[in-house]
Amino acid sequence: MSFMAMLGHKEQERRLARALQQDALVASLLVTGPIGIGKTLFAKKLACALLSYDAQQPANAETLTPLCAPVVIQRMREETHPDLVISALAPKESPVEHIRSILKKIYTKPTMAPFKVVIFENADEFNRNAANALLKTLEEPPMRTFIILTSSHPERLLPTIRSRCLRVTLAPLSATNMGTVLKRLHIALEPSLVSLCDGSPGTALMLYERADVHRNFFEALNEDSLAKAQVFAEEEEAWPLFSWLAPRTLHRVVCAEDTEATPLRAHALTLWQDVLQKIMQAERLNLDRKAVMLWFLCSLREVLHRKAC
Residue 153: which CATH number?
3.40.50.300
Window from 42-46, 158-162, 212-216 with minimum mean pLDDT: 212-216
The last residue of one of the domains, among 169, 192, 219, is 169
143/291 same-domain check: no
Decide if 12 contacts 168 (C-beta within 8 A). yes
**What is the pLDDT averaged over residues 179-203?**
82
The last residue of one of the domains, among 169, 201, 229, is 169
Q: Above 90 in pLDDT, residue 127?
A: no
Window from 14-18, 135-139, 207-211 with minimum mean pLDDT: 207-211
The last residue of one of the domains, among 112, 144, 169, is 169
The per-residue pLDDT for 259 is 47
The per-residue pLDDT for 175 is 87
102/153 same-domain check: yes
The per-residue pLDDT for 264 is 62
Which structural domain range is residue 94 located in?
A: 3-169
Window from 60-64, 87-91, 170-174 with minimum mean pLDDT: 87-91
22/157 same-domain check: yes
Does 295 map to a domain?
yes
219/140 same-domain check: no
**What is the pLDDT averaged over residues 52-64?**
75
**Total domain count, the chain:** 2
Does 174 map to a domain?
no
The per-residue pLDDT for 58 is 58
Mean pLDDT of the chain: 83
Give the predicted TM-score (pTM) of the model: 0.77
Q: Above 60 in pLDDT, residue 88?
A: yes
pLDDT bracket for residue 158 (50, 70, 90) = very high
Read off the DSSP letter of residue 232: H
245/146 same-domain check: no
Window from 1-5, 176-180, 225-229, 277-281 with minimum mean pLDDT: 225-229
13/123 same-domain check: yes
**What is the pLDDT averaged over residues 59-84?**
90
Which residues are CB-neighbours of 244 under 8 A, at least 6 positions away? 35, 203, 206
| Rg over CA atoms, the chain | 22
127/246 same-domain check: no
Half-sphere exposure of residue 28: CA atoms within 13 angstroms, side-chain side: 18
**What is the pLDDT averaged over residues 161-174?**
93
Residue 151 and residue 239: Cα distance in Å, rounded? Answer: 19
